[in-house]
Structure 1
Amino acid sequence: MNLNDQIVIITGSSRGLGKETAKAFAREGAKVVINYFHSEEKAHALQKEIGEKAIAIRADIRDSVQVNSMFQETKEHFGAPITTIVNNALVNFQFDPISKKDAETIKWDDYKSQLEGAILGALNTVQAGLEDMKKLEFGRVISVGTNLFQHPVVPYHDYTTSKAALLGFTRNMANELGQYGITANMVSGGLLKTTDASASTSKEVFKIIENSTPLRKVTDPQEVADAIVFFASPWARAVTGQNLVVDGGLVMN
């Protein structure tokens, strides 16, 4: 299915990487669902910027009832079901190397919060879209990971663990759903410059990353968004179960 025939939902897409991903899909002619939870004003501003190809819908991705309702509302609005899911939402987390919890202070509730945002959120979106994707014999699931679980420069214990689990989730879904024409992949960026989540990161940390990266730059959200679009495109039709690291070569597989 060509990009301009797809209906794409990007969770947590009112700002940061999610916003740039919505804009990238719209640029290629896809219809986009701007999912948000708190940032209503930003979501509707983005919808206005994109135009008639976009709709903004509030839903907590951790709540299956709200997610199912969002998928149904999208189907009614566009007259067709969602074909492409981008699991991007980041729940209650800041990349702050100074105030992060260490091995002595981190609690199970911290892990649970990130696992619910990453795994429960992705499970809800996949299950909400699965019936229609099977009928279409087409589906694209792209989850946002991180290069930190391969190269934990800063030990964000809860966040990194949840993203590592998300890769396991992705590969299991890829294995089971491939028979229906559904692919599942992950795009793992490095620390992005600059998003709300990375606002607490110091200039010194960004400089260290810049100097350690072959491209001698910190990856920006637009670059990661383009890689996400690739996985939904016809050029990636035979690719599934993969984790593409987009960080300027800091991590090499």
Structure 2
Amino acid sequence: MLKDKTVLVTGASRGVGKETARACAKAGAKVILHFNVNQDEAVALAKEIDAVGCIAADLSQKGAADRVWLKAKTMAGSVDAVVNNAGVYRETPLHNAQSWEAGWAEQLQVNVMAPCELMRNAINDWGSSGGAIVNIASRAAYRGDGPDHAGYAASKGALVAASKTLARAHAHNNVLIYTLTPGWIETDMAPSRVEARAAAVADIPLGRVAQPQEIAAMATFLLSGQCGSATGSVIDINGASFMR
């Protein structure tokens, strides 16, 4: 399905990124892994899937995404597809000005600027040859989040808007851009306390949080180009906990 395609996956050392890298490799892609933390896990995954290579970068730093793109091209010669999975979830409480400002700044940089910079690099390099991008946003982009996470919801809403805009602008060059908006996923970000876990699951009609493999399967299918007319779409994966 992805034979002869090179796919860059950000935040690939764990969770959704890790499973997406595995799924893309299984579909025949050559995969480049980006990570910030968990170097041992990233290296082990690279060996497991015979990845092209690993790129370490802190996407909260300005210019980091540009450097990731350049390194990926140097490793592989060209990059055909991108999965913008890396993200952070920080509190932005109203009562704490310092945490508010720091949380907003980090989330806007990692969750918005970095994926948009990678999209800009990809679109400029692809020209009329085309390529595919899947952005991992969140249900929070539409539903909002908890009272202390306005910054997170806003950052994911911005990513959705940017994705739609660029999809509209560059579809004529066969640049395909999709956005996934999951709810809770079985990753390190999922609620772990018994009470919080029960409340989260109770809010999901399907009765469980999503597995990272489910997100990976959808991303891999979209990257294949088998449904190019879906470009610009936002796909909810949240067990019917929020429907638009």
* Structure-2 residue corresponding to 1:46: 45
State whether residues 206 and 218 of structure 1, in contact with CA within 8 Å, keep that contact through their aligned partners in structure 2. Answer: no
- Give distance in 2, aligned partners of 1:164 and 1:133: 26
Tell me the alpha carbon deviations over residues 41-75 of structure 1, each in whole angstroms, 9 at most, x when there is no partner.
11101101112x44211123355654444334333
The secondary structure found in structure 1 opposite 2:78 is coil
- Give distance in 1, aligned partners of 2:199 and 2:61: 39
Classify 1:127/1:234 alpha carbon distance in 2 versus 1 (closer, same or farther; 3 Å).
Answer: closer
* Partner amino acid, structure 2, of 1:169: A
- Give distance in 2, aligned partners of 1:121 and 1:31: 22
Report the count of equivalent residues.
241
- Give distance in 1, aligned partners of 2:60 and 2:119: 12
* Structure-1 residue corresponding to 2:189: 197
- Give distance in 1, aligned partners of 2:109 and 2:164: 18
State whether residues 61 and 109 of structure 2, in contact with CA within 8 Å, keep that contact through their aligned partners in structure 1. Answer: no
State whether residues 71 and 81 of structure 1, in contact with CA within 8 Å, keep that contact through their aligned partners in structure 2. Answer: no
Classify 1:64/1:151 alpha carbon distance in 2 versus 1 (closer, same or farther; 3 Å).
Answer: closer
* Structure-2 residue corresponding to 1:230: 221
* Structure-2 residue corresponding to 1:97: none
* Residue 105 of structure 1, CA deviation: 2.6
State whether residues 178 and 234 of structure 2, in contact with CA within 8 Å, keep that contact through their aligned partners in structure 1. Answer: yes
Q: Calculate the aligned-residue CA RMSD, in Å.
A: 2.1
- Please show how residues 1-253 of structure 1 align to structure 2 within 5 Å: 2-51=1-50, 53-62=51-60, 65-78=63-76, 80-91=77-88, 93=89, 100-105=91-96, 107-135=100-128, 137-152=129-144, 154-155=146-147, 156-193=149-186, 195-198=187-190, 201-253=192-244
The secondary structure found in structure 2 opposite 1:4 is coil
- Give distance in 2, aligned partners of 1:73 and 1:101: 33
- Give distance in 1, aligned partners of 2:222 and 2:17: 15
Tell me the alpha carbon deviations over residues 89-131 of structure 1, each in whole angstroms, 9 at most, x when there is no partner.
114x35xxxxx44333352332121011112101221222223
- Give distance in 2, aligned partners of 1:175 and 1:63: 29
* Partner amino acid, structure 2, of 1:88: N
- Give distance in 2, aligned partners of 1:70 and 1:5: 21
* Residue 236 of structure 1, CA deviation: 2.1
Classify 1:111/1:70 alpha carbon distance in 2 versus 1 (closer, same or farther; 3 Å).
Answer: closer
Percent identity reads 26
State whether residues 92 and 151 of structure 2, in contact with CA within 8 Å, keep that contact through their aligned partners in structure 1. Answer: no
Q: Which moved more, 1:234-243 or 1:66-75?
A: 66-75
Classify 1:65/1:121 alpha carbon distance in 2 versus 1 (closer, same or farther; 3 Å).
Answer: closer
- Give distance in 2, aligned partners of 1:147 and 1:55: 31
Tell me the alpha carbon deviations over residues 132-157 of structure 1, each in whole angstroms, 9 at most, x when there is no partner.
3215x221111111112323352311
5+ unaligned residues in a row in structure 2: which ranges?
none
TM-score by length of 1: 0.86
5+ unaligned residues in a row in structure 1: which ranges?
95-99
- Give distance in 2, aligned partners of 1:205 and 1:132: 44
* Partner amino acid, structure 1, of 2:205: P
The secondary structure found in structure 1 opposite 2:189 is coil
